[in-house]
Amino acid sequence: MTLTRAWRDMRTMKTLFAETEAEADRLGDREPGLEHLLLGAFALPDGTAGRVFENLGSSRDALREAIVRVHGDALAAAGMTDAGDATSALSRPRTGPLRLTEPAQAAFRNAAALAKSERRPIVGADIVAAVATITHGTAARALESLGLTRSAVVDAARAAPAG
């Protein structure tokens, strides 16, 4: 790995993780997970996450709305009807390093490994592809609710860096 690529990857990770945490905060979640990582990928300057979703007939806003619906459905199923119930975990400010859920950590590792195997910097489409391979959870249900099959998302994401 060249020093230039290493520096670029560090900046990419800083942007990705800051936006991932911000998305968790905006959605009222204490621990950033796959859905937050997926939304965070749209903030990367390469723009590939956005292009993947555009090519699939969707967008970041549609994804965020789907995630909010999935969260709402899960809260309703748990008998929680007050939005305050869901956001009470955020009453204290975050301190310390970012702590992603294990599935989000695994997705990031897979995205980084893909980029490394192709000898290029990590891009948003790598994150999209890695998250779309996960079969369970909010991100998977949100993609499904948008009418997107995981395999179509993965294929579109894997084609994006080359194109």
Q: What is the CATH number of the domain that holds 52?
A: 1.10.1780.10
What was the pLDDT predicted at 74? 79
Positions of the chain with pLDDT under 50? 85-92
Give the Cβ contact number of residue 23 at 10 Å. Answer: 23
Q: What is the domain range of residue 140?
A: 3-89+99-159
Half-sphere exposure for 118 (CA within 13 Å, toward CB): 14
Residue 41 exposure: Cα atoms within 13 Å on the Cβ side: 33
Three-class secondary structure of residue 125 per DSSP: helix
Provide the domain count of the chain. Answer: 1
Q: Is residue 94 part of a domain?
A: no
The confidence score (pLDDT) of residue 8 equals: 76
Closest CA to 64 of 84, 50, 78, 77: 50
pLDDT at 83: 53
DSSP labels for 80-111?
Answer: ---HHHHHGGGGS---SS----HHHHHHHHHH
Task: Tell me, yes or no, whether 115 lies in a domain.
Answer: yes
